[in-house]
Amino acid sequence: MRKQLVIAGLAGATSIAMTAAAGAHEAWLLTPEEMIGLASAPKPAVFTNPLFAAPLAALLAGGVFAAISLEPRWLDLENRLFRPLAERAGEIGPAVVRLGLSVMLFTAALGLLPAAGVAAGTRPTLFVPDMQLKLFDPAWGLLVPVQLALAAMLLTGLGTRIAGLAVAALAVFGLHLFGETFLAYAGHFAVPGLYLAFAGGGKFRLRLPAALAARLPAATALDRLELTPTVYRGLMIVFGLNFAYLGITYKLMQPTLLIAILEHGGFPEFGVGYGLLAFVMTFVEISAGLALVAGVLVRPVGLFLISAFTLFAVTLGETPFFHSNLYAMAAVLVMAGAGARRAAEGRETVRRLGAPAAGAMVEQAA
Amino acid sequence: MTRLFRSRRACLALASSLLAAGAFGVTSLLAETREPPPSLFVRIADGAPVPKLVAHAARNAEGEWTVSMEAENFRFTEICNAATGSEAVGHVHIYEGNRKLASAFAPEKSIGRLSPGRHLLTITLQATDHRAFATRDGMITAQLAIEA
């Protein structure tokens, strides 16, 4: 428990510390005219006046407190309801993540999901629309075939663990190439990449022709990797940390950017105005990230993420492909829940009792 | 055991909610009301020389238009990398409405032929990392009307 509190505290502190510099998350949607308006737009009072911000933040914090406190009351029911999915998470999860990552890699490599004002197919990027490779030495054009090759490997499931590790390495390399701007994305690509490196290809993957397979080693060192509860927990922490960072850096510190994006897409105001709406959205995103870091409310957060991405895609006219990697990892969270921790407890129980614990094994499928 | 689990859960819930609420409280205390989002804009410091831009357009014998720009307190460069230093250095983006016509890394840029009629161009100053230069009052731009 103390460990959880320390982790949550560290996560928050790190997120706040990392907010000094940031890139243009989803700013690729904005037109030049909207940019001109945004440059001179004042921040809403609800973000700048403690008299408005404090009561609202306290109210929302009360909601977070209640949700985390009451989770044990519905957790058994939740686990029963999701058991069929949890049993298959080990097979379906990797397949979904492979598909999500391959879509992002393929479209980025060919510039098929371009930023506003950029013609489709003209600007190859790294992972996301605003990380243009054209800004650098032409040698980095090499990342185009690299991304295509990784997309093909992931789609087919051939060499999934190697491809997953390479995606994670590429996410770290993005930090070197684009600097702090890439912090917004690194965790959200490194985590699914590492997930695949540890979990393998799962279901729906191709097999090499027997003749070719016979010439290759039967197993590599990577095949010994296992998605243990500790690994799954670590991935969840990084994933949640990235959301908390995004919430603080791009929404809390720059609320006019979020409001401009909402206005751009004609997002419904729900009768409360974009300022208040942005405040609530920001609070929920940061809280969701912290919940993942703490390993609580995992399935509700996963469902929230999928719903939020879908709502944004529909209302902003954004293609869901923009967030394929996040959809995929959120789906894994929904399927497996906070399974790893329970699996760890279950394993100890198995060792102690010398008998299989059905519930634990279900969760272990994470 | 159940009671202990609940109290631990309550501690975790309290810590998480305080952390989230604290971030908002601190931010509202520190927030500047008129500060363009730093992920998209490079803010010219108060008191620093503000870049200015004036643009003209001329048509050559082949009917192609060239935009010429006179910049003050701003230096053109072809380099695209992380923006550093206090000097305003970078390039410009030339737009017609919401359509980007060109990026200019030097004070002259050909934008090719234009269809007959009036064209209103907006030219924006961009830093080497493609963020836009802005002051407390907004973006630094130049307008140019061309009768083609």
B20-74: per-residue pLDDT in tens?
A: 999 898 888 888 887 888 888 999 988 889 999 999 999 999 999 999 999 999 9
* pLDDT tens track for A116-130: 667 788 889 999 988
CA dihedral A271, A273, A274, A279 (to 10 degrees): -100
Q: pLDDT at residue A22 above 60? A: no
Domain that holds residue A319: 2-364
Among B8, B11, B29, B40, the strongest candidate for a mutation testing the A interface, having the largest count of A CBs within 10 A, is B40
Contacts of A57 in chain B (CB under 8 A): 20-21, 24-25
Q: pLDDT at residue A28 above 90? A: no
- Say how far apart CA A105 and CA A165 lie, in whole Å: 14
Contact check, Cβ <8 Å, B23/A252 = yes
Q: Is A40 on the interface with B (CB under 8 A)?
A: yes
Q: pLDDT at residue A267 above 90? A: no
Average predicted confidence (pLDDT) for chain A? 84
* Mean pLDDT lowest among A3-7, A354-358, B108-112, B141-145: A354-358
* pLDDT tens track for A318-344: 777 888 999 999 999 999 999 744 443
Q: Answer positive or negative: Cα dihedral of A325, A329, A334, A336.
A: positive
Q: pLDDT at residue A205 above 60? A: yes
Q: Residue window 252-281, chain A: list those with CB within 8 Å of chain B.
A: 252-254, 256-257, 279
How many distinct structural domains can be found in chain A? 1
Q: Distance from first CA to last CA of chain A, Å, rounded?
A: 22
- Say how far apart CA B72 and CA B88 lie, in whole Å: 10
- Greater model confidence, A11 or A127: A127
Q: Which chain B residue has its CA at the smallest distance from A118's CA?
A: B100
Residue A46: per-residue pLDDT: 93
CB-based burial, A202-215: b 16+ in 10 Å, e otherwise? beebeeeeeeeeee
Q: The tokens of A276 are what? A: 């208040």
CATH number of B41-147: 2.60.40
Band (pLDDT 50/70/90 cuts) for residue A53 is: very high
Mutual angle of helices A229-246 and A298-316, in 10-degree steps: 40
- How much is the CA Rg of chain A, to the nearest whole Å? 21
> What are the domain boundaries of chain B?
1-31, 41-147
Q: pLDDT at residue B6 above 70? A: no
